[in-house]
Amino acid sequence: MNTVDRVIILSGELPTKTFEGNRQRTETLKGVLLDTHINFAQAKGFYKGTIEDSFVTVPRDNEEIDFLLNLAFNKFGQESVLFQDSNQEAYLVFKDRTEQRLGRLLEVTKEVAESQDGYTELNGKFYTTVPR
Mean pLDDT, range 17-43, rounded to an integer: 97
Q: Is the alpha carbon torsion for 120, 42, 98, 63 positive or negative? A: positive
Q: What is the pLDDT of residue 63?
A: 96
DSSP 71: I
Cα end-to-end distance, the chain, whole Å: 19
Give the CA angle between residues 23, 100, 108 to the nearest 5°: 65
Cα separations (Å) of 27 from 12, 13, 14, 21, 31?
Answer: 9, 10, 14, 10, 6
In terms of Cβ atoms closer than 10 Å to its own Cβ (0-12, 13-18, 19+), residue 112 is: middle
From the CA atom positions of the chain, what is the Rg in Å?
14
Q: What is the pLDDT of residue 5?
A: 76
What percent of the chain has pLDDT above 90? Answer: 88
Q: Are 127 and 106 in contact (CB under 8 A)?
A: yes
Mean pLDDT, range 113-121, rounded to an integer: 93
pTM above 0.95? no
Nearest to 53 by CA among 9, 80, 13, 1: 13
